[in-house]
Amino acid sequence: GAVVSQHPSRVICKSGTSVKIECRSLDFQATTMFWYRQFPKQSLMLMATSNEGSKATYEQGVEKDKFLINHASLTLSTLTVTSAHPEDSSFYICSAASGSTLNTEAFFGQGTRLTVV
Amino acid sequence: AQSVTQLDSHVSVSEGTPVLLRCNYSSSYSPSLFWYVQHPNKGLQLLLKYTSAATLVKGINGFEAEFKKSETSFHLTKPSAHMSDAAEYFCVVRDNYGQNFVFGPGTRLSVLP
């Protein structure tokens, strides 16, 4: 299957700093990328959907100024957690889909474990 | 709106015995349905998908799932569990507009020796 690379896999940052997480589709063009947050022992919560070249669509309750998403190319999307606080500590996962047809599955990155101290 | 229900938060089976992970969905139209597996602190791997072709779908690692429209179900099965199957399993439906993937709450599968 297609490969989605997410980097870094782990990051520890100080409270108040910003962290950028990259999500790359390595062997296909990702027209749509999704960013999820996963709390321990819980399901994935969709944060936002981004289409290449346009602004991301954020889910209700997700602060767009805190979680900045950029999808500048068909192979790269970034999530920047601005002014991070301990409550932002979580597992963040990106996924990418090559089309909007129903039979297109999403390919997932390995996830990023963010710890804010 | 789409939604997914996974009836069991935790399933425990003995190695070599059958696995059944239940999933029910709601959708206004014929959906696409997926099963993903997640090992601890890892991303998600696609096991199989249903996209309106054959209702019995075979996936990787011996897993299969049957789409039953009348029951709005897409249960995941495997004839014989292996220790390496222990993981979290998510049933996912893709909505009518082909954008979002809606996740079920997940079922944790434990395999006992």
- Mean of pLDDT values over A60-87: 93
Look at A24-28, B34-38, B92-96 and tell me which has the smallest mean pLDDT: B92-96
Tell me what percent of the residues of chain B surpass a pLDDT of 90.
67
**C-alpha dihedral over A44, A45, A46, A47, to 10 degrees?**
-130
pLDDT at A102 over 60: no
Compute the Cα dihedral for A62, A65, A67, A69 and give only its sign.
Answer: positive
Write down the pLDDT at residue A115: 96
- Chain A partners within 8 Å of B3 (Cβ): none
Residue A46 with chain B: CB contacts under 8 Å: 100-101, 103
With an 8 Å Cβ cutoff, is B40 touching chain A? no
The predicted structure's pLDDT at residue A32: 87
Q: Chain B contact for A27, CB < 8 A?
A: no
Averaged over B67-89, what is the pLDDT? 95
Task: Give chain B's largest Cα–Cα span.
Answer: 44
Q: Which residue type occupies B109?
A: L
Query: Is the pLDDT reported for residue A99 higher than 90?
Result: no
When pLDDT is averaged across residues B64-87 and rounded to a whole number, the result is 95
Mutation site for B-interface testing, chosen from A43, A71, A89, A93 by largest number of B Cβ within 10 Å: A43
Rounded mean pLDDT of chain B?
Answer: 90
For the residues A77-86, what does the mean pLDDT come to? 96
How far CA A2 is from CA of A39, A56, A104, B16, in Å, comes to 26, 23, 12, 31
- Smallest CA–CA distance, residue B15 to chain A, in Å, is 23
State how far the alpha carbon of B25 is from the alpha carbons of A80, B20, B113, in Å: 33, 16, 32
For B82, the 3-state DSSP assignment is: coil
**Looking at residue A103, what is its pLDDT?**
60
